[in-house]
Amino acid sequence: MRMEGPDFSKIFHAFSKRGHPDDRKGSFSGRADALNLSGRREYKIYSGVPTVSLPDQSDRNHPIFSAFLLRKSEREYSAINSLNLQDLAQLLKYSVGSIDDGKLPITRRPYPSAGALYPLEIYLLVFRQFDGLKTGIYHYRVDTHELECIEERVFLDEDIGDIASYEWVKKGSVMIVLTAVFERTQSKYNERGYRYVLIEAGHVGQNMCLAAPALSLKICPLVGTYDSRIEQLLEIDGITESVVYSLVIGK
């Protein structure tokens, strides 16, 4: 039984957004100089306990294992845009697109979604024109595998700097922005559904990070975004639908 009270997932999401410096608000400062990473270890060790050696798996030659080895965050992109529409189409199809075989009453996708409710929406900010795809803001329509052009516009360096805090983003070709319509999942799972939404975004991001190298694309997940500025671009309210994850791709 759900207890009545404030929806803390919405409060957490609002207060964990990164504020643009010009906005003078937002609780996340993102100060890297406050972190001490020297001597850091990214795993735990239990001393004095029995251990079991696992078999060597280096001889596995299935393509999926190669994909794991190739996955890495790439932040250096060519100034000459050699991206093509075929690569972008494959990246979207096999990371977030419909893989419906007609056997189920719902549209099946290549990632798990709590209750098959699919709260995520996929937007593309195209910084550089390629293959006839003009610069601007697009929405990926899953059922028809199409890009819906919301707005044709030019992205200057200062425009990109207004939505992302890292200089390397300006050399990318496309920023993929995942937003969440929280109610789709929370209508069934209440506040806990917020956790499921974030888990789902992680699944999608990993799909993209694994697919990109297979297409000779460079990709990097991006957390240094000014969410409210992106939400203004997308004309979403930032509450019922909000940015949850972004990635940058290029060559």
Helix H or strand E segment including 92: helix 85-95
> Residue 218 pairs with which residues in a beta bridge?
250
Instruction: Return the CATH superfamily for domain 70-250.
Output: NADH Oxidase (3.40.109.10)
CB-facing half-sphere around the CA of 80: CA atoms within 13 A: 1
Cα 40 → chain centroid: 26
pLDDT by residue, tens only, the chain of 251 residues: 455 667 878 887 887 777 777 776 544 444 444 555 566 778 888 999 999 988 877 666 777 767 767 777 777 777 666 789 999 999 999 999 998 766 666 678 989 999 999 999 999 999 999 888 999 999 999 989 999 999 999 999 999 999 999 999 999 999 999 999 999 999 999 999 999 999 999 999 999 999 999 998 999 999 899 999 999 999 999 999 999 999 999 98
Please give the order of strands across the beta sheet that includes 174-181: 146-152, 136-141, 120-126, 174-181, 241-250, 218-222
Q: Which is nearest to 70 in space by CA: 204, 209, 247, 201?
A: 209
Q: Which two tokens stand for residue 127?
A: 């910084």
The domain ranges of the chain are: 70-250
